[in-house]
Chains A and B, each alone.
Chain A
């Protein structure tokens, strides 16, 4: 059974204070690892897909990395508008593109 564990459950940062979110996974044949952002009362919004160990992708203050067992979402010099819940999900080979999600990390960035 595919499993995704995210930590920490919640994270409070001051503006400009960099940190990382962790996503550990077990999957039978990883096809892709996905990061989503979810704002309160809204649906998840796609951020990144990573396909192989060693891969990195960046978008503004966010950088996602992937190893064979985990992924990190690095947030550099965050701003209050980065406050959201960040979701990690894995897609296994041959599964009709289904995703298995973690429970998310709730990030709050204060001034």
Chain B
């Protein structure tokens, strides 16, 4: 099992450019999440999905869009990148806790994508 993988690992963009970050998981998890991590701010939730074809906003959704066309993939898009979006982006996934023991509810994280917007 590869777990949670993220593509790309690093990227540099110019202001106004667009890009898509890809997250893939092979654990058959229902729930997937996108976070950003900035110094002194901790991990903040951008968007999340509770199943294929469904998405919802998290704490800091502005400037981002997401799609979950397949259960194993969760895409994060930046339509017009801004310097404020310079950050490290993490994807995570977990089981739908309904029907599972509580101990299966931890989120599994990917290795991250380091994005710089100039």
A residues contacting B by CB (< 8 A) are 4, 32, 34, 36, 41-46, 49, 51, 87, 89, 91, 96-104
Contact = CB atoms under 8 A, between A and B. Distances in A.
Nearest to A51: B102
Interface residues of B, number: 28
B33 A91 contact: no
B74 interface: no
B43 A101 contact: yes
Given A46-B107, A99-B45, 7 more contacts: A43-B92, A96-B48, A96-B50, A97-B94, A97-B105, A100-B45, A103-B40
Interface in B60-112: 90, 92, 94, 96-97, 102-103, 105-112
Contacts of B44: 101
Interface of B: 4, 31, 33, 40-45, 48, 50, 56, 58, 90, 92, 94, 96-97, 102-103, 105-112
Contacts of A43: 4, 90, 92, 109-112
A98 B58 contact: yes
Contacts of B42: 4, 87, 101-104
B10 to A, nearest CB: 11
Given A43-B90, A43-B112, A87-B43, A99 B107 contact: yes
Contacts of B45: 98-100
A95 to B, nearest CB: 10
3 nearest CB pairs, A to B: A43-B109, A103-B42, A101-B43
Of the listed residues A42, A46, A97, the one surrounded by the most CB atoms of chain B closer than 10 A to its CB is A97
Contact of B90 (A34, A44, A102): A44
A44 B109 CA distance: 6
Contacts of A51: 102
B111 A97 contact: no
